[in-house]
Amino acid sequence: MTLPTVLRGAGTAIVTPFLSNGDIDEAALRRFVSWQLDEGIDFLVPCGSTGEAMTMSVDEQRRVVEITVDQAAGRVPIIAGAGSNDTKKAIELSKVMKNAGATHLLHTSPMYNKPPQRGIAAHFRAIVEAIDLPIVLYNVPSRTASNVEAETTLQLAEEGRVVAVKEASANIPQVAQIIRHRPHGFSVLSGDDALTLAIMAHGGDGVISVTSNVAPAIVARLCGALHRGDVADARNLDDRLSPLTHAAFIESNPIPVKAALSLMGMMENVLRSPLVPLAETHLPTLRRALDAIGALS
């Protein structure tokens, strides 16, 4: 099977299942990847924020990507998280992910350091020069404390192997600017489930989703409806997802989706410290959201 050259549609920023002893639950991960693909997801993103990569060793991250690649068996692109605020470490981790079989790399702008725009651009250029895989830029100021401005994204897009952006700035005018001026073949993906409809209505190509961990088929249908121009169907699907979209971020991601997947019998509700299980006061909200989409039936 030939993989698409342009990223579009519904991608899942997949969680990492853990056993009660803290080890990676490899069997659960394999089942989860297969279920995601059976439900119609277009690509998978392991070892991102949702996958708790920041609390995994490099060997653990490599193993998660190896399993995801093996289970996907070439059916969809695998965009492996490889971000670091240390450019040298980002390059080293990128090499590990390439060797694990990733088809693309996901790189955040450097967190904590708060470099200026020219520093952000230099970080990505160094990665591009060192690794011959296509790169997805991840702009998430709420976690990195710095915004990648539209001009920086567009400059990197024009230069080559930065082939897409996962935009989670919640800045619709900025995203629209990128969409208007991007080069041919450059994908703009929503990084915020609540804004997928709006971003795709502006001409965006899809989403890297958190809620699709729980409702992959509905998120895939939402993207499909927008690609074929059926805005009415897309609105209905977005409304159906709305309670889950709210519940998925009622505490820090991936706390709520891990709880949801546990309730659905997909995996244990185990997170790596400093993350903790969902507060019991939020469980009724989560259950109502799952009931609304039939996930507990």
Tell me how crowded residue 236 is: count the other CB atoms within 10 A of its CB.
Answer: 14
Let me know if 95 is a catalytic residue: no
User: For this structure, is 138 an active site residue?
Assistant: yes
Determine the Cα–Cα distance for residues 35 and 135; give it in Å rounded to an integer.
Answer: 26
Asked whether the beta carbons of 255 and 275 are under 8 A apart, the reply is yes
Of 98, 114, 166, 258, which residue is the catalytic one?
A: 166
Neighbour-count burial for 167-197, b at 16+ CB within 10 Å, e otherwise: bbbebeebbbbbbeebeeebbbbbbbbbbbb
Given 88, 89, 138, 258, the catalytic residue: 138
Catalytic residues: 138, 166
